[in-house]
Chains A and B, each alone.
Chain A
Amino acid sequence: DVKVTQSSRYLVKRTGEKVFLECVQDMDHENMFWYRQDPGLGLRLIYFSYDVKMKEKGDIPEGYSVSREKKERFSLILESASTNQTSMYLCASRGSIQYFGAGTRLSVL
């Protein structure tokens, strides 16, 4: 069965903390993605990666960075979390079909 696994379902962090969101896929996909989802705004692409150590900015990269050291793992990093980064974060990977993880709901207090 296809799997995209996000390390946490829920996270609560303090303003200014460095936050890591981890995502692992078991399908040997080259393409991986990070989105954030907010009510009324749909899914917005933060960053994507088409190969190990390669990354591309999406629509809303400000305040975020990413790391892809291994093909199966794609990490989203909030260097200094802010309250406006409270959101649902979705990881995805794609071959011919894009598969999503279950999401991480992040609250920044």
Chain B
Amino acid sequence: AQSVTQPDIHITVSEGASLELRCNYSYGATPYLFWYVQSPGQGLQLLLKYFSGDTLVQGIKGFEAEFKRSQSSFNLRKPSVHWSDAAEYFCAVLNSGYSTLTFGKGTMLLVSP
């Protein structure tokens, strides 16, 4: 069965510093991968997706992610974090048969002044 691991439950980053959120997946074939962001009390918003092709994908709000098959990873990055980026971030993989998504348990990003 597919699985997604986000090893960090919480991360604190200073405003203006760079950010990397880790995501590891377990999937037999080429995965379809996603990163979502959830602001407090809100639903999830799609940041970016990887289906195929270029392994470095650009998303909204200045985020990017790199697919590394050899490491089964899809880490999310941002070069300079803003206070408004404080939120919870979820990595997800589309399950075989393309029926459902499997989500990681999320990483809460805190931004310090």
Contact = CB atoms under 8 A, between A and B. Distances in A.
A84 to B, nearest CB: 19
B17 interface: no
Interface in B33-90: 34, 36, 41-46, 49, 90
A40 B104 CA distance: 11
Given A42-B106, A43-B90, A98 B101 contact: yes
Interface of A: 4, 31, 33, 40-43, 45, 48, 50, 56, 58, 90, 92, 97-103, 105
Sorting the interface of chain B by its residue count into under 10, 10 to 19, 20 to 34 or 35 or more gives: 10 to 19
Given A42-B90, A45-B100, A50-B99, A4 B43 contact: yes
14 contacts: A31-B99, A42-B90, A42-B106, A43-B103, A45-B100, A48-B99, A48-B100, A50-B99, A56-B99, A90-B43, A92-B44, A101-B43, A103-B42, A103-B43
Nearest to A10: B41
A43 B44 CA distance: 10
Given A90-B43, A100-B43, 18 more contacts: A33-B100, A41-B105, A42-B90, A42-B103, A43-B44, A48-B99, A48-B100, A56-B99, A92-B44, A98-B46, A98-B101, A99-B46, A100-B45, A101-B43, A102-B42, A102-B43, A103-B41, A105-B41
A98 B102 CA distance: 12
Contacts of B103: 42-43
Interface string B89-110: 0100000000111011110000
A58 B46 contact: no
Contacts of B44: 43, 90, 92, 100
